[in-house]
Amino acid sequence: MEQVNKDRGWPRLSCVLLIGLCWLTASRLACAESPETARPHLAIWCEFMPYRDVLPTLPVLARYHCNVLLHVGPEDIGNEALARVYREAHELDVTVIAWFLHPYEEHLYVGEDTITATRELANRFLDWAEREQLDARWVVFDCEPNPQLGRELFAHMRRFNIPALARTLRREKNADRFARSVAELNDLITELHARDVRVMGAANRVFLDFLRYGNTTVQDTLNAPFSMVRWDRISYITYRYHATQPQYVTMVNRYATLAYRFHGDRAALDLGLIGDQSGFPEHQERALLFGGGWKFLTYLYGMRSVHDLQEVISVALSRGVTQINLYSLEGAVESVAGLENWLRAAAESRPARPLDRWTPFGSIRAGILGGTLQGLFKVMIGQHPQ
């Protein structure tokens, strides 16, 4: 009987020894790791702030070497305040990146429905910038589902109506149109390169979950061609929303790893939200337009701690992603911490140590979720032939 009890104790002892060995090995690796030199290259989105209010923020942005991704719509071309932002930013060595946004009723974002309008907007803007001798070297195309489709998808998700969601996505799937849209966007980028302009593309992080399985069809169903486009920089929207901070660390760990795997040095991440943005009138109006109501606004409560932001930037840096885009300028300015404290925390971020970014259980869960989504997509919607 005594021998039996001893034998039963061996598995427990072996498990303890194995865990201890793993911990000791990881600790030694962390201690032995050479100091990292990666530093974040910062930019910050500005979606709603009037141009005259952007001007006072430029010296702060310059102090922390932070560029600005600035909203530009068709009605803004010729705006003297916008020209002044460009001129003063240039004097301070801050790059202004024109973020093209269409009117809401004209689909807002860049996608299959707006490529022609985007070409017209880009060329009109650049013609004006050349006349005004503005330093317009970069633009960004935000590739997301148009608000009308987003409203429909959001309604299905709120009701957990998976069959209706699948029907909508199947309705939008059109391989020939998708291929034409990819070609048209690449042609447009070639045209912009000829004007010495670089183009960044931004899209939702969910595309990375599907790219892991070679699935680009999901981009077709959302009318947002993206991964086959020849972007100069490629950013994935990776906001915290309802996640806890440990969950957010896991998310950034995953998506920074995948972004760098697929895009290398061109990869960037959009991180935030900064501050409580649920009270912004523009967001409240958009909540009504998208049909999300109060549920939409709960996604906008935002980050309150600069240390939380610094932690996830450190994780991204440790995974090779140094291009970090913060959302948003208006959120940082209106927050209790203030713009300078957010930018200081971001600029002082350094790559996380292996143990600090080690999220085995969260990563396993995220991997299972990604695989499950891919499986459901193949069964319910189907993929284009490879």
Q: Are 98 and 139 in contact (CB under 8 A)?
A: yes
pLDDT of residue 36: 61
Q: pLDDT tens digits, the chain, 386 residues: what are they?
A: 444 343 444 444 443 333 333 333 343 333 333 346 789 999 999 999 999 999 999 999 999 999 999 999 999 999 999 999 999 999 999 999 999 999 988 999 999 999 999 999 999 999 999 999 999 999 999 999 998 898 899 889 888 899 999 999 999 999 999 999 999 999 999 999 999 999 999 999 999 999 999 999 999 999 999 999 999 999 999 999 999 999 999 999 999 999 999 999 999 999 999 999 988 888 888 877 777 777 778 888 999 999 999 999 999 999 999 999 999 999 999 999 999 999 999 999 999 998 888 888 888 998 999 999 999 999 999 998 86
d(CA 203, CA 31): 37
| Amino acid residing at 107 | H
- The class of domain 37-380 in CATH terms is alpha beta
b/e burial code for range 75-92 (CB count within 10 A of at least 16 → b): ebeeeeebbebbebbbee
pLDDT of residue 1: 44
- In sequence order, the β-bridge partners of residue 67 are 43
Domain ranges of the chain: 37-380
Q: At what angle do helices 162-172 and 360-380 cross, to 10 degrees?
A: 70
